[in-house]
Amino acid sequence: MFLSINPATGDELARYEPHSAADIDQALGEAVAAQRAWRKTRMVERCALLRKVAQALRAERDAYARLITQEMGKPIREAEAEIEKSAWTCEFYAEHAPRFLADELIASNATESRVVFDPLGVVLAVMPWNYPFWQFFRFFAPAIAAGNGSILKHAANVPGCALAIEQALARAGVPAGLSRSLLIPSSAVAGLIADDRIAAVTLTGSTPVGQLVAAQAGKHLKKQVLELGGTDPFIVLADADIARAAEFGARARFQNTGQSCIAAKRFIVEEKVADAFTEQFLTHVRALRTGDPMDRDTQVGPIARADLRDDLHRQVMQSVREGARVALGGDALAGPGAFYAPTVLDHVELDMTACREEIFGPVAPIIRVRDAEQAVAVANDTEYGLGAALWTGDLSRAYHLARDIEAGAVFVNGLVASDARLPFGGIKKSGYGRELGVYGIREFTNIKTLWVGPVQS
């Protein structure tokens, strides 16, 4: 049984029956049949469908946003923005997929040689709860534009969102069977990966889960795209605009209640400006409004599950025992729901839990360094490499330093964010492969060489 629990109250919202083995078999069979037909459709038809999906999402934006907020606690304004971003991404690929997937003519010794991009088939998408619509649609839009089908295995705590996605696609006119949501336990994923009807796998989730899925997919020689954990650095150098860095830093850490793979998770600040930055940063954090995520003024909602809130508190307490100083917060909030106070830990060192483990919640560790070189070294001293932010007034130096930062993306004087126009993904234990942009749409294609020799007379 799948339970939908409101993390703001602890109340049960709904119960859902899991799909049976027979349901799974039927879904896979229908997906393969639908994809074989879909791959033969013209690109113009695929793009038209994506525009209809965008319309369907916007038509029910308020209902979908409420569902997100009720199931995983995202503040309602952010949930509405998530639906809009999902719709915009569908429109982006509707506009650009023809160019991204156009044949590429390559000069060779052939009469003609070109590279073509064929779909792989039905892709299994194992998705997380923190952006229950966006995480799916950033995969779905390019995959469908490329001619693939999809099977969604969503996180267990957002079953309502999983089924709502399937219903939205049906209303938009997505061919029956082409994209299905299956309510199944994590233990069933290995069987799906092993099934010959699944051509490839994409996963957004934790690094341990990514390692497991990679091993399962590798055993069956199936393509994977893995977007995993991160301890993203937010570097503030002495010549940065400190007021602006502090303001954006609060947003970068506490958006989605800190439950984002690319949220700023380690604030690495040059010693000369560390006190000034911390003071201004604390001012912005204190001003954050925590409470009912359905309240449009709320900026920080509950943690998605009570057990995750408890583990977050363990990380904070362990860091304090290791020597970190609590500058603000540091405890769960009293009352119902899985709320945790916005927290700032100062004087965090490299060997502390708050620096070594991914902190998935409203907790900001501040690490003080002597100069820019040490800042980059500290930023790279992690097993992760997803995103990084670099704040400095010297843009020429920024380009040089950014090349030395080990991450899939470096944002200079801004918040790390996913954007349909740009490739997104990580290195090291943050995963491999790319989503979004031209590189993302080609991940689930067969990049095929087509070589044509001279006509024989």
The residues annotated with a catalytic role in the active site are: 227, 261
Neighbouring C-beta atoms of residue 180, cutoff 10 Å: 24
Q: Residue 24: left (phi > 0), alpha (psi -120 to 50), or beta?
A: alpha
Q: Which has the closest alpha carbon to 34: 157, 147, 163, 184? A: 147
Angle, CA of 235, 236 and 239, to the nearest 5°: 140
Phi, psi of 363 (to 5 degrees): -130, 130
- Total residues belonging to the chain: 457
- As given in the structure block, the two tokens for residue 414 are 């801004």
Instruction: Report the DSSP beta bridge partners of residue 153.
Output: 126, 182
Kindly state the helix (H) or strand (E) to which residue 334 belongs, with its residue range: none
Angle, CA of 221, 223 and 225, to the nearest 5°: 140
Q: Residue 105: left (phi > 0), alpha (psi -120 to 50), or beta?
A: beta
Residues 453/111, Cβ–Cβ less than 8 Å: yes
Helix (H, G, I), strand (E, B) or coil at 224: strand
Question: What's the CA gap between 191 and 214, in Å, rounded?
Answer: 14
Upper half-sphere CA count for residue 164 (Cβ side, 13 Å): 21
Question: What's the CA gap between 176 and 431, in Å, rounded?
Answer: 32
- As given in the structure block, the two tokens for residue 22 are 């027979």
Question: What's the CA gap between 74 and 66, in Å, rounded?
Answer: 9
Question: What's the CA gap between 159 and 140, in Å, rounded?
Answer: 18
Q: Kindly tell me the burial class for residue 58, based on how many C-beta atoms sit within 10 Å of its own C-beta (0-12, 13-18, 19 or more).
A: middle
Question: What's the CA gap between 34 and 36, in Å, rounded?
Answer: 6
Give the list of residues 6+ apart from residue 111 with CB closer than 8 angstroms, or none: 452, 453, 454, 455
Q: Residue 289 carries which DSSP code? A: P
Q: Residue 73: left (phi > 0), alpha (psi -120 to 50), or beta?
A: left
- As given in the structure block, the two tokens for residue 7 are 């993390």
